[in-house]
Amino acid sequence: MVPPTPPGSPVPTGAPQPTPWTGATGWGTGYPGTAGAPPWGQPPVQPSGGGGAPWLWVGVAVAVVVAVAAGLGIVVAKPWRSSAPRPGPTSPPAADAVELRVLNDGVFVGSSAAATTIDIFNEPICPPCGAFIRSYASDIETAVADKKLAVRYHLLNFLDDQSHTKNYSTRAVAASYCVADQNDPKVYSDFYAALFGSDFQPQEGAASDRTDAELAHLAQTVGANTTAISCIKSGSDRGTAQSKAAAASETLATFSANGTPFVWDGKKAVDLQNSSWLTRLTG
């Protein structure tokens, strides 16, 4: 038998390049030129014979101490456990972080550190626009992420009548602004490019185009949030899309161009026939 703890002892503790798309007559010619259990054991067992009473009381005392200690432990531990850790302070974004701004005629994506800002104009149904975006979207996104390039993306809707629903372009433009409202540069850029994917972009004059549900699903695949998806499904941004597409057309006209795809480098139209145009701009 293990001897009982003597009185007074401490209690133990616990452990390819496209040509500009001008559409039907009147669309122009494109760009110009190009816890476990506590560790205490049970109280000592009373030994047989005389002299047991003192040890019994010691045992009881130990039990009381254990109980009190346990009770105190609960009192102390409860508030500690119920206090959730506070999150540390969040750092503000860098001054030159890539940002997104919705404009009256498009969406700006880029860093203030970018040396070059370009304007890109496209139409959701325009075939050469699809070829252009599929060829350069990835390189453009990389240049933007590297803070070498900033982009003002513009979408027009002059091919609405060439879509099966007669309003696909406007609905696609509206969807892009729903996604832009999420204020995530990458999600927006990915959605813009996805509109022109060879397995998604409708063909001009085809017997079908894309539904709002399909546009919403496309947005979901690139990371759009539920607010953006609901916005697309509801069609609530179509009025905004029409006015912004019209403003984009006016901006395009100021560059003496009315066809797409079209890129303006800040000084002149970019020759999209030259496959190294982006490298020339970003170095």
Could you please report the per-residue DSSP string of 253-278?
Answer: HHTT--SBSEEE-SSSB--TTSTTHH
What distance in Å separates the CA atoms of residue 166 and residue 160, rounded to the nearest whole number?
5
| pLDDT of residue 69 exceeding 70 | no
pLDDT tops 70 at residue 267: yes
Contact between 114 and 148 (Cβ < 8 Å): yes
Residue 126 lies in a domain: yes
pLDDT of residue 72: 45
pLDDT in tens, 190-207: 999 999 999 999 999 999
pLDDT at 150: 99
pTM of the model: 0.70
pLDDT at 260 over 80: yes
Say which CATH number the domain at 153 has. 3.40.30.10
* SS3 of the chain: helix, strand, coil, percent, to 5: 40, 10, 50
Rounded-to-integer distance, Cα 152 and Cα 118, Å: 6
Per the CB < 8 A criterion, the answer to whether 220 and 191 are in contact is: no
pLDDT at 95: 81
Torsion-angle region of 196 (φ positive above 0: left; ψ -120 to 50: alpha; else: beta): alpha
Residue 118 forms part of a structural domain: yes
The count of domains in the chain is 1
Does a structural domain hold residue 74? no
The pLDDT of residue 59 is above 50: no
Residue 46: the pLDDT is 43
Pairing verdict, β 99-102 and 107-110: antiparallel
- In the numeric block, the tokens 């401490």 are attached to 10
Residue at 7 is within a domain: no
User: Which residue range is the domain that position 276 belongs to?
Assistant: 99-282
The per-residue pLDDT for 80 is 40
Considering the chain, what is the average pLDDT of its residues?
Answer: 80
The answer to whether residue 15 sits within a structural domain is no
pLDDT band at 249 (very low <50, low <70, confident <90, very high): very high
What pLDDT score does 85 carry?
53
In a domain, 147, yes or no: yes
pLDDT-based confidence at residue 9 (cuts at 50, 70, 90): very low
Nearest one of 2, 249, 276, 21 to 127, comparing CA atoms: 21
271 within domain boundaries: yes
pLDDT tens digits along 139-195:
999 999 999 999 999 999 999 999 999 999 999 999 999 999 999 999 999 999 999
For residue 90, the model assigns a pLDDT of 62
